[in-house]
Amino acid sequence: MVEAPPPRPAAPVAPRVLTGIERTLIEQRLAAERAAAQAAAEAERAGAAAAVVSEAPSPAAVAEPAMAAAVEAAATPAVMARAGRRRERAQWQRPAWLAVPGPATVVAALPIALPLIGAGIAWTAVTVTGRPSLPVDEARILLTALVLIGPLGAAAAVIARTWYPRLGGLVMASSVAALAILTRTILA
């Protein structure tokens, strides 16, 4: 006899995503069920409280004081009691893009900013002293190197910070050292 192969388990069905209308209808149905359950619980509590009270006063005895209290309440103006809470003043908050940088931000920007600052100082020194008094071809090469060391050192610091942050200080130090040597060469 040939045996039938065992049945394969059905592939798990992915949960169906509800539309907004379906979700709203489910929420409304659950809210109505919750309200009905709360009303039933209130009725049950009220029934339990009535069963506990063994001696109930007569309805006429309860009605006279209640009517007098209602007349007094109608005569006095209704003032709603507000829960006391502390009022807080409105405060302005500075947007994140306008925040003052903290010390950690300044320290993190040093490897990027120092080569640019060093190139600016060297360029100012060259401009103020009127040097170098070199032939045009040599002066052009030195000044091009001066202009490129600062921005390229800053770009190298950004790249180092992105891929290997520990190299940021080394890149900054080498760029500033190259600027110092180049400035000395130009001003000598």
Q: Is the distance from CB of 118 to CB of 182 less than 8 angstroms?
A: no
Q: Is the distance from CB of 171 to CB of 110 less than 8 angstroms?
A: no
What values do phi and psi take at 166, rounded to 5? -70, -20
pLDDT of residue 56: 54
Residue that the structure tokens 């947007």 belong to: 95
Structure tokens at 169: 């200080």
**Helix 136-163, helix 103-129: angle, nearest 10:** 180
Structure tokens at 167: 């190299």
User: What mean pLDDT do residues 146-174 have?
Assistant: 84
Of the pLDDT bands very low, low, confident and very high (cuts 50, 70, 90), residue 98 is: confident
Examine the pLDDT at 79 and tell me if it is beyond 80.
no
Higher-pLDDT residue of 24, 13: 24
What values do phi and psi take at 2, rounded to 5? -100, 125
Examine the pLDDT at 139 and tell me if it is beyond 90.
no
Of the pLDDT bands very low, low, confident and very high (cuts 50, 70, 90), residue 20 is: confident
Alpha helices in the chain (DSSP H): 20-52, 59-75, 103-129, 136-163, 168-187
DSSP assignment letter at 76: S
Examine the pLDDT at 161 and tell me if it is beyond 70.
yes
Structure tokens at 35: 């309200």
Of the pLDDT bands very low, low, confident and very high (cuts 50, 70, 90), residue 39 is: very high
For residue 67, give the amino acid letter: M
For residue 63, give the amino acid letter: A
> Over pLDDT 70: what percentage of the chain?
78
pLDDT of residue 119: 82
